Every structure is written in C-alpha cells, then in structure tokens.
C-alpha cells in the first residue's frame, strides 16, 4: 500500500494532508488517487459517505488545477446545499498551502446575485447543486466550456432527488473530452445508464461490498405493535444513555410529531424536515453536529445534507417506501472505523420486509426484545455510577461549600445519602418504568414487567385475543401487576393468558385469550378492587389502521383524544379531570369504551 508521500503529491498538498491529520490513505483514496494522478480514465467509485471519498477526488483535483488561468476547470455536482458547502470547505483545506485556488459553492436558497458576481470574477472549481447551476447556466453566469473534470458526487442521491434531467442538461454543456468521475453508494440501473451515456470505459472501483452498508453496522429490529412504536423508541433511547443518533420518519408530519413528543418528554431531541425554513434547518443541523442535540428526528430528504461521522445509532422509526433508502440510512452510522447500530421498529405486518432488507444489505438482522423497565433503570444507574467514579472534581470552589453541606446532611448515613442522590437523579426513569406500561410483544406474550415473577402466563403464538375494557386506571393505582393479580385471583387455577394492556388514567383496556374472555368478564364483574366495584366488558372496535399503522386522517383527531396518557394530550384535554369515585361515575368511563 502506498502512503501519501509515495503517491506523487506536491509538498503543498502533503503539508495540507498532514495538517488535516490524515496519516494513511483510506481504501477509496488508495484506489482513486493513483488513477486521478496518473491515467486520464473515467472512474466509477461505489463508496458510502464517510469512506474518505472527498479527499480521494479532492486532493488530486486541487493538485491538477492550474491557478495561472481564470478558467473554470472542474465541476463537482452534489445533491444538497450542505454537502456542497462541506466539499467546498474540504477543498479549501486541501489547497491551504498551495494558494490562489478559487472555489465557489453554488446552491439554492442563497443569493443568486452574489453567486453571479463571484462567477463573473472567475473561479477554478465550481461545486454546485444541479438546480441552481442550471439557473446560472441559463443566466450565462456559469460557463463550463473549459471544464476538463466533472465529478458527480452522491450520484444515487441526486437521482433520488429527481435531478436526472438537470444532470443531463448540465453534462451537455461540458466539452466531450472531459474526464468524468462518478461516486455513488449504490449501483442502480439509472446510475449505469448515466455511466453509459456520459462516461468512456470507466474503471469501476467498489469499496466494501457493492450495494451493502458499512461493514461496521449491526442491524437490529424490535417487533412492536404500531401503537407502541413511540414507547419502544423511548425505551431504546433510555437504554442507551450515550446515544447520538438520527431517527428516520417517513413524512414531515410524523417527523414533527415524534420530535415534539420527545421534546415534551424531556429528551434532547429536535426535528429536521422540509417544513422548516433553511435557517431553522441550518440551526438544527449545527446543534446536532456539535452534539448539542442527542437525537435528531428527520425525513430522508432533509437529512441528506447532514454529514456526521460518529453516530452511535440510526433508528428507523418508519421504513422508507423504497428499501434502497434503508442502505443510505444505515450507512450513516459505523463510519470512520467506528461501530454503529441500525435499529428498525417493525410492526407485525412489516415483518416480511426484514428478509428483503437482509438480502439488500447482505447481513442478517437481529431481533431484540424491547428493553424492560428494570433493564433500563439498571443501565442508567450503572452509566451514572461510572460517571461518578471517573468525574474529576477540579473546581476548588466546591471545597468552600462542603462544611455547610456536611452540617446540613450530617444525619444521613452513606446509604441514605446515596439513595437520595439516586432518587433525585433518576426520578423520571424510576417513575416511568416502575409503573410504566409494559410493551407487549406482538408474538403473544408480554415483555417482562418491573417485578419479575409477576407476569401473566404467555399464550400460544397463534392464540386469538379478545380486547376488554375495565373501569380502573392509573389514578386507581391500577398497573399491569394489579391487573394480572386481579385476573389471577378471580379466575383461580385457570392461568388466563393476558395480552396487550393499555392503561389510561381512569380506565384501561387489556387482552385475554379469547376462550377465557367470557369467564374473565363474569369473574371480574363480581370482583372488587380497593373496595371499588370492578366493571369489565368487551372493548369496542378500534379505528382501522393503514398498512404502516397510521390512522386515517379522519379518525386521527379522535384517536389522539383517546390517548390521555400522552403528555401533550394531557394538556389539551383532561376529560378525566377529577378522579371518579364510585360505580355511578364509572358509567362515564363506560362511555369511553370506544376505540
């Protein structure tokens, strides 16, 4: 393997490489740089972002550019404004010690007049998004007649974004004798067609496996009812205290909804989608880049310009229509030699898609149980303990407060002190998960509850369940443990399998295996809970869901009204208001038995 010194770079470029801290060429650079510095051949490089491809084409390009003329010699086309700026900034770094190189980024959403005047003064390299460049060609500001090198970066993304016609139009403007390089994460038929039309005997280089996501990515999925997706997402985030990831949604609306819920629930999250202004998107992306945000909820299109190397997780809250996009999503983690995890929340209806994805990325997907409340609390506690062990107490000022603090807390022994500190630190988790609703696996059994040994018996995977309504809810101190105990106590010796449980404030829904439903209804209607008469009946139908679990628009408003356990809804409606007292008031609750 050649190192940078042996590749034939000038001292100025070598100095820039060393200033950037690059020690050894990355595989894409090992392959592309010698071809760029040597032959005049066209090149197709199949490489993900994060593999070092910008330097692979950028370093030789900077070296080859003649700064003694004012002509535009190279054109780099890329899909987004952010990538455009990133490439421009990288090229500026590479040319730091070679001087005088004029590079211009042209993209939509910025003043076209400034771009026109910069172009008129003459630039050596144009880095452009296709739409804006067409505009500038139309205004005769961008002149491509002297261009000798064209680089299509993230060509597959450009095609996904509908830039095919623009690319065709632009390439018609560039002299035929040029050299063309095409970088793409995947090789689709459309990419092959462009290569056939605009490239001459291209050398094809594949970094890693063709059409496969990065080697360092582990693919996992949680099988979850669509109504539990958000809860599962929270569990996932809670069980990974150091998570730094992108949560992908399908629509702008879903993106905003998930982000708003996360923000409201106290997570360090924000949304990135096309309904935001460019300035808002820039702010969110910058916050995420510098890790002021832990979780970014984004649409595929909006996240395209975001180049972050050290994501721990990519979370597919919803799968994209085009499974090819999964490859792009998961390829955003496991970069620059780091390990990454791509997690997908899969509903029972989508289960077959896992096989298709496995084929696509040529890796197997691991099905994981949704973390239980106790697992999450223990992980959070251990994480905190580790931080406590390693924290450096460098502020001298702390010392001066110690005597007063010690005096105030002298009556607390070590254990009591620890308990209180932990309680302050972990109230949210302990509260959420001690009595939090468990999430039920669509496989028929329910996930482990907080207290081991108190779970309901598992039904057979094929068993049919009946959904029942009960007039008890969280404000009655009624949680899964209590429900299971109530059912077990009143159906002695029967071991009734319990399925999904949905706890509301003053009423709940739960599933029991169909063959036991009548028996459970009769038994519980004769039972009491904390001196209160229990009322159970068959739950009314839920609204239909579409393929991906989204409720039809018409019914959506109704549906959210029926989820008073969601904090955002709590603010809007509080129809439970005061806690209902006796059975008389529970008739009201019966009216709520409508899904």
Among 54, 180, 372, 517, binds ligand AMP (CB under 6 A): 54
Judged by CB under 6 A, does residue 302 bind ligand AMP? Answer: no
Verify binding: residue 55, ligand AMP, rule CB under 6 A. Answer: yes
Minimum Å gap between C-beta 50 and ligand AMP is 5
The answer to whether 154 and 83 are in contact (CB under 8 A) is: yes
Q: Which of 7, 42, 43, 51 binds ligand AMP (CB under 6 A)?
A: 51
Question: Is 456 a residue that touches ligand AMP (CB under 6 A)?
Answer: no
SS3 content of the chain, % helix, strand, coil (to 5): 45, 15, 40
C-beta of 291: minimal distance to ligand AMP in Å? Answer: 15
Nearer to ligand AMP by Cβ, of 29 and 166: the residue is: 29
Q: Pick the piece of the chain touching ligand AMP (CB under 6 A) from 53-61, 105-113, 121-129, 475-483.
A: 53-61
Number of CB atoms found within 10 A of residue 576's CB: 19
Segment near ligand AMP (CB under 6 A); pick from 43-51, 290-298, 413-421, 476-484: 43-51
Shortest Cβ 589–ligand AMP spacing (Å): 57
The stretch among 45-53, 148-156, 342-350, 363-371 that binds ligand AMP (CB under 6 A) is 45-53
Q: Count of residues binding ligand AMP (CB under 6 A)?
A: 15
Q: Are 271 and 298 in contact (CB under 8 A)?
A: yes
Q: Choose between 307 and 586: whose C-beta lies nearer to ligand AMP.
A: 307
CB of 400 to ligand AMP, least distance (A): 44
- CA nearest neighbour of 295 among 241, 344, 346: 241
Question: Measuring CA to CA, how many Å separate 546 from each of 158, 259, 550, 551, 578?
Answer: 30, 22, 5, 6, 35
Q: Which is nearer to ligand AMP, 47 or 484 (CB)?
A: 47
Q: Cα-flanking dihedrals φ and ψ of residue 454, to 5°?
A: -110, 20
Q: How far is the CB of 281 from ligand AMP (least distance, A)?
A: 19
What is the nearest approach in angstroms of ligand AMP to the Cβ of residue 7? 11
Q: Which is nearer to ligand AMP, 33 or 503 (CB)?
A: 33
Radius of gyration over every alpha carbon of the chain, rounded to an integer in angstroms: 30
Question: By CB under 6 A, is residue 308 in contact with ligand AMP?
Answer: no
Least separation, in Å, of the C-beta of 133 and ligand AMP? 21
Contact with ligand AMP (CB under 6 A) among 36, 43, 45, 53: 53
Which of 339, 342, 338 is closest to 363 using CA atoms?
Answer: 342
Contact 549, 229 (CB under 8 A): yes
Asked if residue 52 binds ligand AMP (CB under 6 A), the reply is yes
Q: Hey, which residues between 4 and 33 contact ligand AMP (CB under 6 A)?
A: 22, 24-26, 29
Compare residues 55 and 315 and give the one whose CB is closer to ligand AMP: 55
C-beta of 94 vs 267, nearer to ligand AMP:
94
Give which of 272, 307, 305 is closest to 289, Cα–Cα. 307
Q: How far is CA 528 from CA 153, 228, 482, 576, in A?
A: 68, 30, 12, 21
- For residues 157 and 191, is the Cβ–Cβ distance under 8 A? no
The residues with which 529 forms a beta bridge, in sequence order, are 532
Q: Are strands 498-503 and 508-513 parallel, antiparallel or unpaired?
A: antiparallel
* One of 7, 30, 43, 50 touching ligand AMP (CB under 6 A): 50
* Run of H or E including 341: strand 340-346
Q: Does 49 bind ligand AMP (CB under 6 A)?
A: yes
Question: Rounded to whole angstroms, how far apart are CA atoms 129 and 135?
Answer: 10
Backbone angles phi, psi at 349, to 5 degrees: -65, -25
Nearest in space to 224 (alpha carbons), one of 368, 320, 436: 368
Which is nearer to ligand AMP, 190 or 309 (by Cβ)? 309
User: How many DSSP H helices and E strands does the chain contain?
Assistant: 23, 20
24 or 251, CB closer to ligand AMP?
A: 24
The Cα 262–Cα 92 span in angstroms is 38
Residue with tokens 């452009």: 128
Minimum separation from the CB atom of position 563 to ligand AMP (A):
42
Q: Is 336 in the site for ligand AMP (CB under 6 A)?
A: yes
| Residue 54: CB minimum distance to ligand AMP, A | 3
Q: Smallest gap, in angstroms, from Cβ of residue 566 to ligand AMP?
A: 39
Interface region with ligand AMP, contact rule CB under 6 A, candidates 51-59, 122-130, 286-294, 342-350: 51-59
End-to-end CA distance of the chain: 65
Least distance between ligand AMP and beta carbon 546 (Å)? 37
Contact, 151 vs 198, CB < 8 A? no
Beta strands 103-106 and 217-223: pairing type?
A: unpaired
Q: Which of 270, 307, 438, 448 binds ligand AMP (CB under 6 A)?
A: 307
Residue ranges in 309-328 that form contacts with ligand AMP under rule CB under 6 A: 309
Minimal distance, residue 49 CB to ligand AMP, in Å: 5
Q: Site residues (CB under 6 A) for ligand AMP?
A: 22, 24-26, 29, 49-55, 307, 309, 336
């Amino acid at each position: 393997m050649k190192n940078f010194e042996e590749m034939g770079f000038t001292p100025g470029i070598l100095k820039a490489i060393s200033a950037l801290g690059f020690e050894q060429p990355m595989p894409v650079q090992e392959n592309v740089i010698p071809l760029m510095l040597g032959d005049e051949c066209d090149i197709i490089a199949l490489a993900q972002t994060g593999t070092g491809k910008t330097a692979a084409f950028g370093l030789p390009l900077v070296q080859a550019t003649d700064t003694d003329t004012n002509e535009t010699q190279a054109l780099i086309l890329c899909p987004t404004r952010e990538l455009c700026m990133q490439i421009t900034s990288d090229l500026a770094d590479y040319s730091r010690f070679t001087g005088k190189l004029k590079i211009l980024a042209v993209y939509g959403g910025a003043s076209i007049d400034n771009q026109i005047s910069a172009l008129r003064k003459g630039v050596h390299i144009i880095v452009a998004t296709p739409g804006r460049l067409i505009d500038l060609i139309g205004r005769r500001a961008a002149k491509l007649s002297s261009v000798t090198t064209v680089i299509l970066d993230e060509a597959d993304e450009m095609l996904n974004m509908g830039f095919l016609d623009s690319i065709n139009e632009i390439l018609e403007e560039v002299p035929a004798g040029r050299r063309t390089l095409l970088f793409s994460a995947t090789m689709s038929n459309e990419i092959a067609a462009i290569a056939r039309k605009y490239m001459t005997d291209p050398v094809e280089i594949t970094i890693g496996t063709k059409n496969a996501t990065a080697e360092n990515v582990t693919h996992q999925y949680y099988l979850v009812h669509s109504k539990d997706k958000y809860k599962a997402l929270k569990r996932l985030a809670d069980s990974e205290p150091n998570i730094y990831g992108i949560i992908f949604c399908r629509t702008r609306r879903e993106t905003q909804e998930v982000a708003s819920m996360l923000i409201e629930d106290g997570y360090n999250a924000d949304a990135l989608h096309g309904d935001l202004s460019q300035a808002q998107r820039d702010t969110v992306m910058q916050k995420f880049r510098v890790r002021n945000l832990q979780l970014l909820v984004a649409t595929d299109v909006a996240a395209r310009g975001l180049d972050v190397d050290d994501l721990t997780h990519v979370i597919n809250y919803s799968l994209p229509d085009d499974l090819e996009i999964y490859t792009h999503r998961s390829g955003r983690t496991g970069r620059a030699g780091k390990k990454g995890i791509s997690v997908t929340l899969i509903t029972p209806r989508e289960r077959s898609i896992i096989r298709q994805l496995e084929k696509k990325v040529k890796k197997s997907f691991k099905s994981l149980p949704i973390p239980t409340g106790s697992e999450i609390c223990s992980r959070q506690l251990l994480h905190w303990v580790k931080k406590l062990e390693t924290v450096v107490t460098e502020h001298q000022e702390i010392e001066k407060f110690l005597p007063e603090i010690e005096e105030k807390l002298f009556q607390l022994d070590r254990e009591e002190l620890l308990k209180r500190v932990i309680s302050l630190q972990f109230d949210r988790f302990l509260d959420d998960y001690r009595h939090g609703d468990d999430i039920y696996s669509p496989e028929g059994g329910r996930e482990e509850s907080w207290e081991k040994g108190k779970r309901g018996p598992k039904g057979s995977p094929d068993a049919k369940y009946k959904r029942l309504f009960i007039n008890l809810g969280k404000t009655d101190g009624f949680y899964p443990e209590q429900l299971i105990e109530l059912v077990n106590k009143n159906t002695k010796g029967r071991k009734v399998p319990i399925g999904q449980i949905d706890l509301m404030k003053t009423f709940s829904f739960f599933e029991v295996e169909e063959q036991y439903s009548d028996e459970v209804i009769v038994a519980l209607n004769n039972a009491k809970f904390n001196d209160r008469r229990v009322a159970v009946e068959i739950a009314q139908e839920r609204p239909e869901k579409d393929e991906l679990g989204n409720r039809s628009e018409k019914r959506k408003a109704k549906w959210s009204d029926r989820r008073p356990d969601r904090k955002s809804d709590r603010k809007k409606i509080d129809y439970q208001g005061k806690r209902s007292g006796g059975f008389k008031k529970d008739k009201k609750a019966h009216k709520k038995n409508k899904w």
